[in-house]
Amino acid sequence: MRSGSSSLENQWNSDPILARAIKQGLNARTIGHSVICLRETTSTNDEAKKLAADGAAEGTVVLAKIQTAGRGRLGREWYSPEGGVWMSVVLKPDPDRIIQKITLLTGLSVARTLRTFYDINAVLKWPNDVLVGDKKISGILTEGTFEGEVPLYVVVGIGLNANMEPESLPKTLRLEAVSMKALLQKEVSIIELVRRLLKTLDQDYQSFKGSKEEELWNQYKKLCATIGTDVRVEVDEGEVYEGRAEGISPEGGLILRTEDGYNVTILSGDCIHTRTKKKHEKE
């Protein structure tokens, strides 16, 4: 007989049971038809890449209770103690789709899940952060494997601070990071959270693949705290741009109006909000 959901929360060792519980009632078109739950791994992105290289279908999900070498962009460390959602999804978008936009849409799915189901006032910081106030609750890492210019598959990793205690992060991060548990003053069901997240991501991914892309980016822009804010963006080569973020380009880049009045589009970089504003309060 299947056990109740609360006891399942403690059964990460019994991977298939947990995976089945997550898949139950998911009804997703693409994402989550196959879910793999691991107790511990280096990085779920690495696991998902291995599975994709071995031919795993689009929508395969890998989830780990603990990551021992979770990473962010540019090799930065992502702290992944017990209590968070550390998860990666294998995607195989059409070759004409811009992969950079998968980071944006996944961030949107995380923010939408937090707002819709948990009443958490999550906003987006371009390109890959989900914030509550000015604290980071989630980060996205998208990695593509290419043959020449053509993407063979893309792995999108989601790190979401769910049931973590502030003490489980290093001291230096405690002022910059926040968890759902700290905001809600209670633990959430990881199974339910993952299911909601996968469902929302599936909806947003269908919009991305189909004819509803514009609607998706309109939603993104509404929730993007970066737009309208003064920012400092460091691009890969160490080049720095400062100015007012004015919008998102069709390729998913940030449109910046520099102090000397030029418009530049930045496709990727590290963005700091230098002057924050209060908006996006949840209605």
Residues forming contacts to ligand BT5 in the complex (CB under 6 A) are 43-45, 67, 70-73, 76-80, 86-88, 128-129, 136, 139-141, 157-159, 161, 169, 173, 177
Which lies closer to ligand BT5 via its Cβ, residue 75 or residue 261?
Answer: 75
Which lies closer to ligand BT5 via its Cβ, residue 166 or residue 213?
Answer: 166
Which lies closer to ligand BT5 via its Cβ, residue 248 or residue 271?
Answer: 271
| Shortest Å, Cβ 29 to ligand BT5 | 22
Nearest position to ligand BT5, beta carbon: 139
Which lies closer to ligand BT5 via its Cβ, residue 15 or residue 213?
Answer: 15
| Shortest Å, Cβ 261 to ligand BT5 | 29
**In sequence order, what DSSP letters do the residues of the chain get, joined into one string?**
-PPPHHHHTT-TTSHHHHHHHHHTT---SSTTSEEEEEEEES-HHHHHHHHHHTTPPTTEEEEEEEESS-B-GGG-B----TTSEEEEEEE---TTS-THHHHHHHHHHHHHHHHHHH---EEEETTTEEEETTEEEEEEEEEEEEETTEEEEEEEEEEE--S--GGGS-HHHHTTB--HHHHHTS---HHHHHHHHHHHHHHHHHHHHTT-HHHHHHHHHHHBTTTTSEEEEE-TTS-EEEEEEEEE-TTSPEEEEETTS-EEEESS-EEEEEE--------
Which lies closer to ligand BT5 via its Cβ, residue 8 or residue 158?
Answer: 158
Which lies closer to ligand BT5 via its Cβ, residue 129 or residue 204?
Answer: 129
| Shortest Å, Cβ 75 to ligand BT5 | 9
| Shortest Å, Cβ 43 to ligand BT5 | 3
| Shortest Å, Cβ 180 to ligand BT5 | 12
| Shortest Å, Cβ 45 to ligand BT5 | 4
